[in-house]
Structure 1
Amino acid sequence: MPARVAFFEVEPWEEAYIEGHLDGKFEFAFFTEPLTVDTVELAKGFDVISPFIYSDIDKSVIEQLPDLKMIATRSTGFDHIDLTVCAAGGIEISNVPFYGENTVAEHTFALILALSRKILPSVERTRRGNFDLAGLRGFDLKGRTIGVVGAGSIGQHVIRMAHGFEMNVVVFDVRRDELLAKNLDFKYEDLDELLRISDVISLHAPYNPHTHHMINRRNIHGMKRGAILINTSRGGLVETSALVEGLQNGILNGVGLDVIEEEGLIKEERQLLSHEYTHEKLRIALETHMLLFRDDVIITPHNAFNSTEAVQRILDTTMANIIAFIEGRPQNTVLQAA
């Protein structure tokens, strides 16, 4: 019998694209909902599930899926999946390690340029028929220092683009590759020094217990005064209250965020009445709300990856991962079954 595959968080065009490329090889089901404990019944009986980042595949979900053999997440990150429980159950996990390196890097520079040249207030003012230049003076990127936190595939694209703007580049990464530094013409610094000397700080680190709140209320005061901070990686890297404090005290000149701490909590206002809202989550949500209406803050809705080319690469890689698993030659494995 053909393998049964369930795709969650799927848009209509994605369903058509997948069926067009895998027709006849598998038995499919497509769901617009994320996979959670509330929707787990939909996933029962499937050999493979393919979620995106808003699914919450924890122990309570996995224990109800005895037929599950593989999770093919359509993302680079996999913090929405309980790896420990999957390992115990012999469930293999694959991800999409490379799909939007240039895409996210381009969005990063879109945020940098929008802040450095005050694009949003310029557009909004002009739309009101006001062509006054007062308060709209920006600054050149040429000759400025950009601090790149995380020199993985996305960070490396950012470094290359920064050189195109004739910026100086410093990098913080837990793994130092001096050959890479030589080839891409940058200098490694520890995090505190990077924050002290950088005019632009761009975050491209994974989220884990070691990187939680790596930008926080302590080290925000060590930043170069007037710097701008960009986060297109994971919201939990930055303590929201540190951003509020940094902006209110004039430490930060601007903030560009494609991800926010506890993102997704306020899709509907009635969620505020849910028992799941702790006081801490509510505080973060309200602080984020404060940031939304500042002229020196730009927040985009986790959209950095979202180009036509990148989302197609996500599907192509996911389908290849599923085929490789079924054929007994797994690839892009985060967790490989014994």
Structure 2
Amino acid sequence: MKIVVFEATEWERQACSSLAPHHVVECLAGPLAGDSADRYTNAEAITTFIRSDLSAAVLRRMPKLRLIATRSTGFDHIDLAYCRQAAITVCNVPDYGDHTVAEHVFALLLALSRHVVEAVGRTRRGDFSQGGLRGFDLAGKTLGVVGAGRIGQRVIAIGKGFGMEAIAFDAHPDPIAAKQLGFRFASLDELLAAADVITLHLPGGEATRQLIGEAEFARMKPGAVLINTSRGGVMDSEALVRALSSGRLAGAGLDVVAEEGALGEEAEIFRTETAVPVERMRALLADHALLSQPNVIVTPHIAYDTEEAVARIIETTLGNIAAFETGSPQNVVN
């Protein structure tokens, strides 16, 4: 097959070289977009990360495409309806780092609870004053987990180690997991009102788009902390800015924001031929405001990014390609 690897790091290039004896493989550092699709109309299989444009408008330009192997668990960035129509198989990486992402949740939470970023900044300037740096204990606090799948359950287990009480909301509650880990399920409203720390572990897509908005922030316990390592689109960025500015929330730790792609390359907005919706521009402005808030920590979508996790991602992706080639595709999401 002609295989194109988009968003490839040097390490991924080396790993994908194992496909070369049996396939024609090309690796690109950039994401898939309209212009790159036109250059690879002969591609039969592609593997991408989440910044690639996998809309019908782009995929239609690759008429020979038969396989998309996304190097992610989420697949809300792929037009699955078009892929079904065009007989394109879509595979993901369902399990590569539950504990990896969960550990980053607590990296963000501890950095917020102990004012680590501000404290380090001071000492590097030779300032060893302690004013304004008093933090809070995690022990005894209530941890609210929105989305109690594999990652959410791992977060609960780690939280228990800190002495936190856990409650969870999930569209499909798992009573066996609740019993084993010692937490209870609650409605979203009850969770928001009771939790000292709220952490989001939701898939992207229309079903969860801006699930946490103005009304939800208003229900949160005053002084709560919000952590989001799932998808930026599950929360309303403007409403989050207001909740932080008003003091409703004490802080937020974000590994994702709604317009993270545009933040990285804002000039792209002005290169598009179509007008950018006002809602998207407002979200971009809100994300900028979050970056400058002193009680907000933003990391560049790195919750998944450890040596061990990325090794599992590429191993599974190569396995997905090999399985498709043999006629027995695995980890199929469409």
- 2:270 aligned partner: 273
1:200-227: CA deviations, max 9, x gaps? 0000011122211111111211101110
1:6 aligns with 2:19: no
User: AA paired with 2:67?
Assistant: M
Partner Cα distance (2:185, 2:268) in 1: 43
How far apart, CA to CA, are the structure 2 residues paired with 1:173 and 1:234? 16
Distance in 1 (CA, whole Å) between partners of 2:205 and 2:62 is 27
Structure number with the higher helix fraction is 2
1:288 match:
287
Closer, same or farther in 2 for the Cα pair 1:269/1:55, shift >3 Å?
A: closer
Specify the code of the residue in structure 1 equivalent to 2:3.
Answer: V
2:228 aligned with 1:242 = no
- Structure 1 SS opposite 2:90: strand
Distance of 2:66 and 2:205 partners within structure 1: 25
Please report how far the alpha carbon of residue 254 of structure 1 lies from its aligned counterpart in structure 2 after TM superposition: 0.6
Are residue 327 (structure 1) and residue 331 (structure 2) matched? Answer: no
User: Which of residues 124, 138, 142 in structure 2 aligns to 1:141?
Assistant: 138
Runs of at least 4 residues off by over 3 Å: 271-276
For structure 2, the residue ranges without an aligned partner over 5 or more in a row are none
Give the TM-score normalised by structure 2.
0.96
Amino acid at match of 1:311: V
Shift of residue 119, structure 1, vs aligned partner: 0.6
1:142 Cα deviation from its structure 2 partner: 0.5
Q: How does 1:4-83 map to 2 (within 5 A)?
A: 4-19=2-17, 21-83=18-80
The Cα of 1:272 is off from its aligned counterpart by 5.0
**Equivalent residues of 1:76, 1:98 under 8 A apart:** yes
Paired AA for residue 300 in structure 1: T
Indicate the residue corresponding to 1:306 in structure 2.
305
1:187 and 2:200 correspond: no
Provide Cα deviations, 1:250-286, integer angstroms capped at 9, x if missing partner: 1100100000012211323434534543322221111
The answer to whether the 8 Å contact 1:240/1:284 transfers is yes
Q: 2:111, 2:275 → 1: CA distance?
A: 36
CA distance in 2, matches of 1:269, 1:70: 31
* Distance across 1 between alignment mates of 2:270 and 2:55: 23
Is 1:198 aligned to 2:198, yes or no?
no
Is 1:93 the counterpart of 2:90? The answer is yes
Structure 1 CA distance for aligned equivalents of residues 85 and 42 of structure 2: 19
Q: Give, in whole Å, the separation in 1 of the partners of 2:16 and 2:92.
A: 17
Partner Cα separation in structure 2 for residue 34 and residue 327 of structure 1: 27
Paired with 2:276 and 2:63, the residues of 1 have a C-alpha distance of: 31
Report deviation, 1:46: 1.9
Tell me what 2:151 maps to: 154
Question: CA separation in 1, counterparts of 2:143 and 2:220?
Answer: 12
Cα distance between partner residues in 2 of 1:260 and 1:73:
20
Letter in 1 for 2:36: T
Paired with 2:66 and 2:19, the residues of 1 have a C-alpha distance of: 19
Q: CA RMSD in A?
A: 1.3
Q: Deviations over 1:136-155 (max 9, x none)?
A: 00000001000001111111
Per the normalisation by structure 1, the TM-score is 0.95
Please give the secondary structure, in 1, of the residue aligned with 2:214. coil
Is the 1:229–1:252 Cα contact (8 Å) retained in structure 2? yes
Deviation at 1:9, TM superposition (A): 0.9
Deviations 1:172-223 (A, max 9, x none): 0000111111011101011111010000000001112221111111121110
Q: Which amino acid aligns with 1:298?
A: I
Distance, in Å, in 1 between the alignment partners of 2:275 and 2:151 is 34
Native 8 Å contact 2:19 2:25 kept in 1: no
